[in-house]
Amino acid sequence: MPALKIFGKMKYFMVSDKNDRLFNYRTICIIIFAALISGILSGIFIALTWDLPQIRSIESFRPAGVTRIYSADGILISELYLEKRDPVPLNAIPYYLKAAIIATEDRTFYRHSGMDIKGILRAVIKDMIAGEYAEGASTITQQVAKTLFLTPKKSLLRKIKEAILSFQLERRYTKDEIIELYLNQIYFGSGAYGVESAAKLYFGKPAKELSLAECALIAGLPKSPSRFSPVINLNAAQKRRNIVLKQMLETGIISDTEYNAAADNPVILINHEQSRIIAPYFIEYVKNYLEEVLGASRLYRGGLTVHTTLLSNLQDAAEESSAIGIAEITKRMKKSGIKDPDPQCALIAIDIKTGGIVAMTGGNDFYKSSFNRATMALRQPGSAFKPFIYALAVERGFTQHSLLLDAPVVFKSGKRGKDWVPQNYSGGYEGEMTIRKALAVSENIPAIRLMEILGPSSVTQFAHKLGIETPLDPNLSLALGTSGVTLIELASAYAVFPNMGKYIKPFCVTDVEDRRGNIIWRTKPEKRIAMSGEGAAIMTNMLEAVINEGTGSAGRALNRSVAGKTGTTNDHKDALFIGFSPSVLAGVWVGRDIPAPLGNGETGGKAALPVWINFMSKALSGKQDEAFNIPDGVVRVKIDPATGLSASSGSDTAATALYRKGTEPE
């Protein structure tokens, strides 16, 4: 073969081999580049999605519900929530509301797969023109993803995560399931989350009862809940509502006739003026209690139903009586020259048989001061403490005609200092008197002498047994009520007397139900025998004498079987009356937050007793008078209350006194 041909062939093969190598090199480069790009994209995808929540968690998601608190007579008195939300199924939401939301928020909702591409492109252009991240272009699915899983912070990264979650939502759930989630989750302004809460907040009715105009107003709120809230700006809300109605007309949801009728319809909201909150001090007391037994998270997020012991008619009576009493006291304080009088009144009422708190006021204005003076204030009870001394004496064998010396007395001080020379409030002395009369007229000296006989430590122990939980100073001045206690303690201890010696710790809640109606907690009242039934009946009878023969004489106006005791502290800083019928007990305290005189003459009988009488007259209205229980082993005896000697039944001054059999006067 000629050399030229051979060389030519060799040249061909050389060129061909070079081309093959170049092709292989390019192919390898392309593969490497593609792998690199794929790796980068995969890395970006993993970085974006590694911390995304699992979409299936929606199936176990339970939105925070509203916990509702009811009175014992079935009246809703409060709602507790972190977010005011009442989830309802889609079939409980009117068609117009669902359609209005779709028309204003996402017209292609039933056609897209989670993202509105045209909307996104339009938003990008607007953002570029604005020079900032201004336009969201979120579909309803995206808004659900953002609300349930992401933060509201605007960023490109969050938007990408939102898109990924939206696709996942669309793959796993139907459109109706997604719109139901949306309608129950989105914020509608003024604290309302979800359409049901919004309907109740703005129109006072469930969503299923909303009119076309009302549906349109609510549908217009998600765009800017604060700006368009009718509570904040009624005019702006009405304009926004009409825009929604126009969009519904344009999309064929409503007719011209429906549009015109709805657009001309004025926005009528439920009354949002400062409404009277029922029993705010009681509600706060219930909240604090349930936070301890159930936990704050469960209480505010669990959608619970709480049944309380409160009776709405008695609560109304308590608030009205307290307000009237404070107005009268304030008037007298001003007249006596006291500048800026600021008396407070607290009242607590208890069902004697059950121990349930049926009414409570903790002060004049909860919104000025939430401090509950019925349950938290440690104030001196004054003479209202004396019944505990006499009750112990009765348990120890003293009878109503047992005599005590009412005469001046000096107690020597064991330390350097002045001797204690106690005095009666009246300033005078009567010599010997029965313990019945000593309690009825509330003389100090006989009570102090009785305390000395019984022993201060014995009295403090007995008071704790009756229900006083606050530590007491075991000294003779305790007979004058010098150790601070709370009003609720006093009330619970007094309730032992008409309850035949049984102590029941006051409680405020009967039971709690979860959102399915299952009872998850029920109260178990703390009960114990605090004193004998005979002794309790005798003490009740002696406290009846306070009203019939002593410092509580104004209570006779009730013309009922009632008993109680006044209390007044030094310089008239505290005035009290604790009293009861056979069924209900009420304690009233009047004073100033920073202990200072209420004014001369403002005793328990003048400042607190009128409030008690007013309350009890309403509490007992329409009920037949009933007598206090008298146990076996106790007899009724007619006595002369001044001497304690037996008296003829025809005597004008005779009083009926109770005695253990065999201890009655001859």
Q: What is the pLDDT of residues 188-227, one digit of tens each?
A: 988 888 999 899 989 989 999 999 999 999 999 998 888 8
Query: Among 153-162, 306-315, 410-419, which is the least confidently predicted range?
Result: 153-162
Say what angle helices 140-149 and 175-185 make with each other, to 10 degrees. Answer: 60
Residue 523 has pLDDT above 80, yes or no: yes
The sign one gets for the Cα dihedral 557, 560, 566, 572 is negative
Residue 607 has pLDDT above 90, yes or no: yes
Nearest CA among 66, 575, 527, 478 for reference residue 301: 66
Catalytic residue at 383?
A: yes
Residue 555 has pLDDT above 60, yes or no: yes
Alpha helices in 372-503 (DSSP H): 386-395, 435-440, 444-454, 456-466, 487-494
Residue 338 has pLDDT above 70, yes or no: yes
Indicate the burial class of 216 (C-beta count within 10 angstroms; 0-12, 13-18, 19 or more).
buried
Tokens standing for 563? 């008993």
Place of tokens 């192919």: 27
Q: Which residues pair with 360 in a beta bridge?
A: 348
* pLDDT score of 440: 97
* Catalytically annotated residue among 105, 395, 443, 489: 105
Residue 472 has pLDDT above 50, yes or no: yes
CATH class of 84-263: mainly alpha
Phi, psi of 408 (to 5 degrees): -55, 145
Residue 131's region, left for phi above 0, alpha for psi from -120 to 50, else beta, is: left
* pLDDT score of 27: 73
Give the rounded percent of residues in the chain with a pLDDT score beyond 70: 83
Looking at every residue in the chain, the average pLDDT score rounds to: 87
Residues sharing a CB contact under 8 Å with residue 6, sequence separation 6 or more, in sequence order:
none
Could you tell me the residue ranges of all domains in the chain? 84-263, 318-660
Place of tokens 């310089």: 571
Task: Note the Cα 373 to chain centre separation in Å.
Answer: 16
**8 Å CB contact between 488 and 375:** yes
Between CA 50 and CA 46 the distance in angstroms is: 5
Tokens standing for 381? 């009870």
* pLDDT score of 48: 43
**8 Å CB contact between 533 and 501:** yes
| Residue pLDDT, tens place only, 371-430 | 999 999 999 999 999 999 999 999 999 999 999 999 999 998 766 668 899 999 888 999
CATH of 318-660, one of 3.40.710.10, 3.10.150.10, 3.40.630.10, 3.40.720.10: 3.40.710.10
* Catalytically annotated residue among 197, 229, 322, 383: 383
State how far the alpha carbon of 371 is from the alpha carbons of 340, 361, 468, 551, 611, in Å. Answer: 20, 11, 20, 30, 20
**8 Å CB contact between 278 and 312:** yes
Nearest CA among 169, 251, 185, 170 for reference residue 216: 251
Residue 139 has pLDDT above 70, yes or no: yes
| Residue pLDDT, tens place only, 5-56 | 544 554 544 555 655 665 666 777 677 766 666 655 454 444 444 444 555 5
* pLDDT score of 136: 53
* pLDDT score of 191: 80
> Average pLDDT in the 289-308 region?
92
